[in-house]
Amino acid sequence: MSKYTTLYQHGTLALLVPGLLSGTLTMGDLLKHGDTGIGTGEGLDGELIILDGKPYQVDSDGNVNEVSNSFNMPFANSHFAKYSPLAELEDVSQDYFEEQIISLTHASNTFFSVKVTGSFSNVKTRAVKKSVPPFQTLAETAKNQSIFTRDHVEGTLISYYSPKLFDGAAVGGCHNHFLSDDHTFGGHLLDFHLDKGDVSYQLFDTLEQHLPIDNKAYMDHDFSKDNITDDIHNAEG
C-alpha cells in the first residue's frame, strides 16, 4: 500500500443516517493517515477541512476554528497530498464540476481527490450545529444547520470522489469542502461558481476503510431498516 495512493476513511456515511454520531476517532489519529482531509465532529459538530497538515473546523456560527488533536469524529477522510496538475478551469458551476472532473480524469471507477485553488464568484456552504446525546437521525440533526454565502472569495476546495459502488460507505460522487484563503469562511459546499482556478488531482488505488468496532452502539445497530442512500443524498447532496 503506497502512502500516496491510499484514501483513508474512518466510519461510513451509513452510520450517520440512524444517528450514530459519537466521536470514534481523534484528529490526532486521523492526521497519522494524511495531511489533507475532510470530516465532521461528534454530534455533527461543524465541517472539517485539513490543508497542509492543519485541521480547521467551520462551526454553525460560521467561525473557522483550529482543531485540537483530541477533537473526536464519527466520520472523516484523509490522505497524504501529492496532487498533479489537471486543468485550469474558468467559469464552472458546481452542477458541471463533477461532470468536468470525471471527463478530465477518466477515473469514475476509482477513488480520487481534487483540489481547486482560485477565485470563486459565489460560494454557498453549510455547517451543522453540534447535537448532544441522545443523538437524533442524520435527517433530524442536519435540520439544525446554518447556511452561509459569500461573493468574490479566494479559497481552496477539497473534493473526494467515490465510485457509485461505494455509495453508502462514502458519498457516491464528489464530496466537497471549502476554506477561504483568509480563513474567515468555509464549510460543506452546497453550491459554488468558480471564476478561475487551478485544478489538481490525485488518484487512489486503495481505500483504507476503518470501522469503529469498539463502539457498542455501532456494533449493536440494525442497519437493515435504515434508508441509507436516500438519507445521505438528502443530507450530503
Strand, coil or helix: 110: coil
Report CA-CA distances (Å) from 3 to 32, 158, 199: 11, 19, 22
Q: Is residue 165 a contact point for its own copies (CB under 8 A)?
A: yes
In whole angstroms, what is the distance from residue 144 CA to residue 202 CA?
34
Cβ contact 10:30 at 8 Å: yes
The smaller minimum CB distance to its own copies, of residues 1 and 132, is found at 1
Residue 65 β-bridge partners:
57
CB of 9 to its own copies, least distance (A): 10
Q: Is residue 221 a contact point for its own copies (CB under 8 A)?
A: yes
The smaller minimum CB distance to its own copies, of residues 129 and 166, is found at 166
Q: Tell me the window of 82-90, 102-110, 134-142, 150-158 that interacts with its own copies (CB under 8 A).
A: 102-110
Query: What is the four-CA torsion angle of 189, 76, 142, 159, rounded to 10 degrees?
Result: 20
CB of 40 to its own copies, least distance (A): 19
Residue found by looking up cell 443530507 in the block: 235
CB of 105 to its own copies, least distance (A): 10
> Of 177, 142, 167, which is closest to residue 21 (Cα–Cα)?
142
The smaller minimum CB distance to its own copies, of residues 28 and 182, is found at 28
Identify the residue among 31, 80, 102, 166 touching its own copies (CB under 8 A).
Answer: 166
Specify the pairing of strand 186-203 against strand 47-51: unpaired
Q: Is residue 207 a contact point for its own copies (CB under 8 A)?
A: yes
Going by the DSSP 8-state scheme, the letter that residue 132 receives in this structure is -
The smaller minimum CB distance to its own copies, of residues 151 and 220, is found at 220
Q: Is residue 219 a contact point for its own copies (CB under 8 A)?
A: yes
Q: Is residue 147 a contact point for its own copies (CB under 8 A)?
A: no
Distance from chain centroid for Cα 182: 20
Distance from chain centroid for Cα 230: 18
Between 58 and 97, how does the x/- string for binding to its own copies read (CB under 8 A)? ----------------------------------------
CB of 26 to its own copies, least distance (A): 15
Q: Is residue 218 a contact point for its own copies (CB under 8 A)?
A: yes
Containing 87, the helix (H) or strand (E) segment is strand 84-93
In whole angstroms, what is the distance from residue 34 CA to residue 53 CA?
7
Identify the residue among 109, 132, 151, 225 touching its own copies (CB under 8 A).
Answer: 109
Residue 182 β-bridge partners:
none
Contacts with its own copies by CB under 8 A lie at 1, 12, 14, 106-107, 109-111, 163-166, 168-169, 203, 205-213, 218-221, 223-224, 228
